[in-house]
Amino acid sequence: MKIPEVSETETINRRALFLGAGAAGVFSILATRLFYLQVTKAEDYRVLSEDNRFNYNLLVPARGDIRDRFGERLAINRQDYRVELIPERTKDIDATLDKVEKIVPLSAAERKRILKDVKENSSFVPVLIKENLGWPAFSKLNIRIHNLEGIIPTVGSVRSYPNAGIFSHTLGYVGRASSAEVEEDRDPLLRQPTFRTGKTGVEAAMEKDLRGSSGRLKVEVNARGRIVREWPDPQTQAKAGSDVFITLDAQLQRFAAEQFIDADGETDSGGVAVIDVITGEVRTLLSMPTFDGNLFVSGLTQNDMNSMNNDPKRPQFNKVLGGGYPPASTYKMVVMLAALESGLIDPANPIFCVGKVRLGNRNFHCWSRRGHGPMTMRQALKNSCDSYFYEIAHVLGIEKIANMARRLGLGQTYDIGVAGQRRGIVPDPEWKQGRLGTAWRDGDTFNTAIGQGFTLATPLQLSVMCARLANMEKAVVPSLLIGQELPAFSNLDVNREHLAFVNEAMWSVCNEPGGTAYKPNGLEIPGHQMAGKTGTGQVRGISTSERDSGVRKNSKLPWKLRDHSIFVGFAPYDAPRFAVGTIVEHGGSGAKRAAQISRAVLAEALRRDGLGTTPVSDSDAVNETPTGANNTIGGVSGRNGTSSSSNLPPRL
Amino acid sequence: MTRASTYRRQSYPEAGAGLREKLYGLNWLLPALIAVVGAIGVMMIFAATDGVWSHGAAQHAIRIVVAMGVMVLVALVNIRVWYTLSYPVYLIALALLFGVEFFGINVNGSQRWLDLGPVRLQPSEIMKPAIVLALARYYHDLASWRVSSALGLFGALILISIPMALILNQPDLGTTLLLAATGVIIVFLAGVNWRVMWMSMLGLMVAIPLFFKFGLKEYQRARILTFFDPSRDPSGASYHITQSKIALGSGGLNGKGFMKGTQRQGEYVPENRTDFIFTVIGEEFGFIGSLMTIGIYICVISLCVWISWKCKAVFSKLLILGITTTFTLYIFINLGMVMGLAPVVGVPLPLISYGGTVVLVVMFGFGLILSAHLHRNVELPRSSD
């Protein structure tokens, strides 16, 4: 029965051999496959492996500073103390946050945001706990770091504006890029959560220069994105943004800001622009009150937002560029020049002011209720007689006035690189028809003659107008950015003699007793005088009954209803360097706040320019006799020697 | 009586042989080759863990040394003892599998581990040599004319299918298939005639689709489907295969050098300390290194087959070939998986992959092979006589 064992073991041996052959076959397949992967396709897989391996981390460039004309830094990068958490280094995130909270208070919302960030990122990705820590908190954290697992205090860079907001309107501020910006600008920097881009002002206008270019750090990463090692490559370093210089004079601007604080310590609302009469460079561009641009960088709280929005003085509003105000009597130079150019008006021919001019059944009042009596053109400007200008405007017609206003720079924006300029309005029949759809009336001409009605201008425009008057040759165009290519100024094309006549009349406003802005030795710089013109911008209609019972004084009115105080001027009169345009919202008559501020700022600008730092000797003080130039325009002598300093030559 | 005396005489030829002679008689080539494989394992685990000894390389080294000690001990035990113990071992393994069923620890959704106080056991691993022992014994005892008979086949089927069902239920598809393949191969080696083989082959072709539909867990189905169509799941299961192929392929002919594998450093290949350790070999030592590793495996396998030739007893032969089969299948499945030729199933590369139970079980298997070789002249009783 026994089956021979030989045959049985033989079967096993044979079948083992058979399977061995099969195994050899399988091994051959495996070896072939290996050959295919590791030799035939090696190159492909090498490339894939490199792809796997390297990531490029963006290096954020340092943002360029913004500096004033003397190099003072107006926008800088400040070290920002932050605290971050690496979730994988702590066992209990909540407990760690509790410990941190003892040093750095965290709101419930912040904690929620932190926990959300932790959840959404890999556990080795640092999550920001809080930024903008004070030094005491930061150093406390550093001291207790040993029992704060996973907590790392870091120092970052954040935009900072050192001048407490005085430059905020001009500089603008930076913020996180909006999704629209990311869409438009493909720069990957914008997608960095810590990156800030210019939102307004110079920050936005010069974004390209300030930003610089990102660098790339080649990093070897693992499957989860953790950096295994860095491969520094000098060619891909971040290139810091370049500094941007602006034409402003920081000290002058600070000085101007101080002038806006009134006697009661209240900050007046308004704007002032000081520009170089020759180059057009803006030396001061201030809107008051200001806001702190730093708040926008760190993130505005609802409180800040509310207090800013509820302030009737609208600190966020850039009045110097964007505020449209009736230029009021400062518009009278425009009417004057138009009249002289037309030849229709003899400036020496007096017009009698009785306090009002009747047009149809309507009375147009002069600010002087009793009337100025007989007024020549020069006297009319000096006293700011409204009746005179009603009359001559009536003769001239609106077109000539509007044309002159435009030539003097009103009703237009300038390419100063910063957005937010208001165009203002130079009203004429075409404008009215287009805008209001009604025909121009003579009454409109009357209103325009004294810079009221539809007329609107910004402080910057007024300063430009004044600079063109003072320059006499060129149509000065303002500029704010140093290094920006500027077109050559075109000729002003206004008769020089006419301009000299207007300038001289403006001189009389400031330097002759009875002038609306008369103040002896107003600049307080010996040998130098200013010229200018006040304006009082009405913001309310005055009813007939109020007129009869006496127009209410500004001080008796609520702030919102008070007149705007306006002033334009230039100095020195004999060799103009700077022109100023100032508006103080609801500041009362132009002779008051606006004139005070303008005077002080012009004097400071001159002092900073080197005038008055050395005493002017008597022989230097101009002592020439007037030429007959004035006479040719109307025989107004003007120089009666009553001004505080010696007579000045006519500017021809 | 005479038979008995002859038996007694022949069965303990080395009864008086001292330990020294036994040690001397061992086939030392096999432990030597195994030591080389183990050393490769230690080296590659060292690389896979970024050069930190304590992250596995040291443990693996210790395990290899200890397990080799166990292997020699197992080798020194008379094959008769193993023959006697084969069914009890099988029953114990089966009991442990039942234990897993009820008291097992659930890791990643499958219940494979048994916590026995200080040690954690994976009974499915123990079942691997146990089933070989049991089948070898079964066929040793079975008259050869019964091998292809219905009864003979039924017995083998019972032995194989009970543990298979239990392991599949854990679920552990890889081990189940490994067990099935091992069982089928032993049945084949035992001499089942070709007609039965072909018929069962046909049966399998019918059974597999049914099994795929009803017998598998969702993730197992997904793995297999992903294998056939990698685009199904680019970041999940096929990510494994893709990254694995990148690691191997980027190694090229010569490799990137020891400890210089970037795929490895980047931790792109998950489980590269355990199941996917071959990717580290392929990446750092290239085609040459991979081929050499496979070559050493082939040497081990060939040596075992040669040893089986030297043995006379059916039990010994089937035992050696069965264990060799398990060992070989481990290698096939693992390499196939790593190279993208087989679905991702959790099968380690024996002696190279990190993992204690597998090392111990494989070494135990090699111990049995060595014991069979050492005691090749011992005659084993055949109950069917």
DSSP codes, A601-629: HHHHHHHHTTTTSSPPPTTTS--PPP-TH
Spatial contact of A202 and A418, defined as CB atoms under 8 Å apart: yes
Phi, psi of B148 (to 5 degrees): -90, 0
In three-state form (DSSP H/G/I as H, E/B as E, the rest C), the secondary structure along A74-113 is EEEEEEEEEEEECHHHCCCHHHHHHHHHCCCCCCHHHHHH
Query: Taking CB atoms and an 8 Å cutoff, what residues of chain B touch A34?
Result: 248, 282, 287, 290-291, 294, 339
> Which of B242, B250, B307 to mutate: most A Cβ within 10 Å?
B250
Question: Closest residue of B to A21, CA-based?
Answer: B302
- pLDDT at residue A618 above 70? no
* Interchain CB contact of A227 with B (< 8 Å): no
- pLDDT at residue B60 above 60? yes
Q: Identify the band that residue A187 occupies on the pLDDT scale cut at 50, 70 and 90.
A: confident
Q: Choose between B140 and A309: higher pLDDT.
A: B140
Query: Taking CB atoms and an 8 Å cutoff, what residues of chain B touch A16?
Result: 189, 305, 308-309, 317, 321
Average pLDDT over residues A565-573: 91
Q: Could A45 and B268 be called an inter-chain contact, meaning their C-beta atoms sit closer than 8 Å?
A: no
Q: Identify the band that residue B294 occupies on the pLDDT scale cut at 50, 70 and 90.
A: very high
- The percentage of chain A sitting over the pLDDT mark of 90, rounded to a whole number, equals 20
CA distance A124 to chain B (A): 15
Q: Could B268 and A223 be called an inter-chain contact, meaning their C-beta atoms sit closer than 8 Å?
A: yes
Distance (Å, whole) CA A459 – CA A422? 10
Whether a cis peptide bond, with omega within 30° of 0, leads into A572 is yes
* Interchain CB contact of B219 with A (< 8 Å): no
Give me the residue from B145, B189, B262 closest to A12, CB to CB: B189
Q: How many CA atoms lie within 13 A of A618 on its CB side?
A: 0
Per-residue model confidence (pLDDT) at position B109: 65
Q: Identify the band that residue A231 occupies on the pLDDT scale cut at 50, 70 and 90.
A: low
Average pLDDT score, chain A:
82
Q: Identify the band that residue B63 occupies on the pLDDT scale cut at 50, 70 and 90.
A: very high
CA distance A299 to chain B (A): 38
Q: Identify the band that residue B328 occupies on the pLDDT scale cut at 50, 70 and 90.
A: very high
- pLDDT at residue A547 above 80? no
Q: Could B245 and A38 be called an inter-chain contact, meaning their C-beta atoms sit closer than 8 Å?
A: no
Average pLDDT over residues B235-254: 79
Spatial contact of A522 and A595, defined as CB atoms under 8 Å apart: no
User: Per-residue DSSP letters for A216-284?
Assistant: EEEEEE-TTS-EEEEE--GGGPPBPPPPEEBS--HHHHHHHHHHTB-TTSPBPPEEEEEEETTT-BEEE
Give me the residue from B250, B290, B305 closest to A45, CB to CB: B250
Per-residue model confidence (pLDDT) at position A338: 92
Distance (Å, whole) CA A213 – CA A187? 9
- pLDDT at residue A555 above 90? no
Query: Taking CB atoms and an 8 Å cutoff, what residues of chain A touch B185?
Result: 19
User: Which residues face B111 on adjacent strands?
Assistant: B106
* Interchain CB contact of A30 with B (< 8 Å): yes
- Give the B window 261-280 contacts with A, CB below 8 Å: 262-263, 265-268, 270
Q: Identify the band that residue B315 occupies on the pLDDT scale cut at 50, 70 and 90.
A: very high
- pLDDT at residue A42 above 60? yes
Question: To 5 degrees, how large is the angle CA A592–CA A595–CA A596?
Answer: 80
Average pLDDT over residues B314-321: 93
Per-residue model confidence (pLDDT) at position A641: 35
| Window from A10-14, A115-119, A203-207, B108-112 with minimum mean pLDDT | B108-112
CA distance B287 to chain A (A): 6
Q: Tokens representing A259?
A: 């002038």
Q: Could A5 and B314 be called an inter-chain contact, meaning their C-beta atoms sit closer than 8 Å?
A: yes
Per-residue model confidence (pLDDT) at position A616: 44
- pLDDT at residue B284 above 60? yes
- The percentage of chain A sitting over the pLDDT mark of 70, rounded to a whole number, equals 88
Q: Tokens representing B45?
A: 């685990």
* Interchain CB contact of A14 with B (< 8 Å): no
Residue A72 corresponds to which amino acid? Answer: E
Q: Which alpha helices (H) appear in B77-193, and where do they start and end?
A: 79-103, 123-141, 150-168, 173-189
Per-residue model confidence (pLDDT) at position A233: 63
Q: Identify the band that residue A226 occupies on the pLDDT scale cut at 50, 70 and 90.
A: low
Q: Identify the band that residue A463 occupies on the pLDDT scale cut at 50, 70 and 90.
A: very high
Question: Closest residue of A to B283, CA-based?
Answer: A38
Question: Closest residue of B to A11, CA-based?
Answer: B191
- pLDDT at residue A129 above 50? yes
Q: Could A34 and B290 be called an inter-chain contact, meaning their C-beta atoms sit closer than 8 Å?
A: yes
* Interchain CB contact of B339 with A (< 8 Å): yes
- pLDDT at residue A97 above 70? yes
B301 Cβ partners below 8 Å, 6+ apart? A23, B324, B327, B328
Whether a cis peptide bond, with omega within 30° of 0, leads into A289 is yes
Spatial contact of A561 and A586, defined as CB atoms under 8 Å apart: yes
Per-residue model confidence (pLDDT) at position B10: 42
Per-residue model confidence (pLDDT) at position B159: 93
Distance (Å, whole) CA A159 – CA A200? 14
- Chain segment B20-51, per-residue pLDDT in tens: 888 888 899 999 999 999 999 999 999 988 88
A570 Cβ partners below 8 Å, 6+ apart? A277, A466, A467, A469, A470, A506, A530, A531, A532, A576, A577, A578, A579, A580, A602
B209-238 as b/e, with b when 16 or more CB fall inside 10 Å?
A: eeeeeebbeeebebbbbbbeebeeeeeebb
User: Per-residue DSSP letters for B109-121?
Assistant: TEEEEEEETTEEE
Query: Taking CB atoms and an 8 Å cutoff, what residues of chain B touch A49?
Result: 246-247, 249-250, 262-263
- pLDDT at residue B275 above 60? yes
* Interchain CB contact of A19 with B (< 8 Å): yes
Q: Identify the band that residue B299 occupies on the pLDDT scale cut at 50, 70 and 90.
A: very high
- ipTM, 2 dp: 0.89
- pLDDT at residue A55 above 70? no
Q: Which helix (H) or strand (E) holds A565?
A: strand A564-571
- pLDDT at residue A625 above 70? no
* Interchain CB contact of B49 with A (< 8 Å): no
Q: Choose between A236 and B128: higher pLDDT.
A: B128
- Chain segment B166-205, per-residue pLDDT in tens: 888 887 777 888 898 999 999 999 888 888 888 888 887 8
Q: Which alpha helices (H) appear in A54-191, and where do they start and end?
A: 93-101, 108-120, 135-143, 168-171, 179-184
Average pLDDT over residues B253-267: 82
